Structure 1
Amino acid sequence: MNVTSFLLHKQPLIEIINWHLFRFKKVHTICFFISLM
């Protein structure tokens, strides 16, 4: 039960981190294509 509540508390943080990583990857890809042109 303690572990479950801990995971539930961490869930939003994990989603935020995943979102930032996804955004960063997207920006990185766009910059890569721009540099190719």
Structure 2
Amino acid sequence: VYQLIWNIETVITLVLAVYLLRYIKKRNLISKWYKEM
């Protein structure tokens, strides 16, 4: 049961990460993050 939940959470995390990367690229926030780092 825990393995199934872990797999679902992993898939959701990957999907959210992809959407966030696309959103960041559109907003050009990556360059701002590099400057802050």
Does TM, scored on the shorter chain, surpass 0.5? yes
AA partner of residue 29 (structure 1): L
Question: Structure 1 regions of 5+ residues with no counterpart?
Answer: 1-8
Report sequence identity in percent: 7
Q: Report the Cα distance in structure 1 between the residues aligned to 2:12 and 2:21, rounded to whole angstroms.
A: 14
Larger Rg: 1
Give the C-alpha shift of residue 26 in structure 1: 0.5
Q: For structure 2, which runs of at least 5 residues remain unmatched after alignment?
A: 29-37
TM-score of the superposed pair, with normalisation by structure 1: 0.68
2:16 corresponds, among 12, 15, 24, to 24
Structure of greater relative contact order (alpha carbons < 8 Å, 6+ residues apart): 2
Q: How many residues align?
A: 28
Where does structure 1 differ by over 6 angstroms across 4 or more consecutive aligned residues?
Answer: none
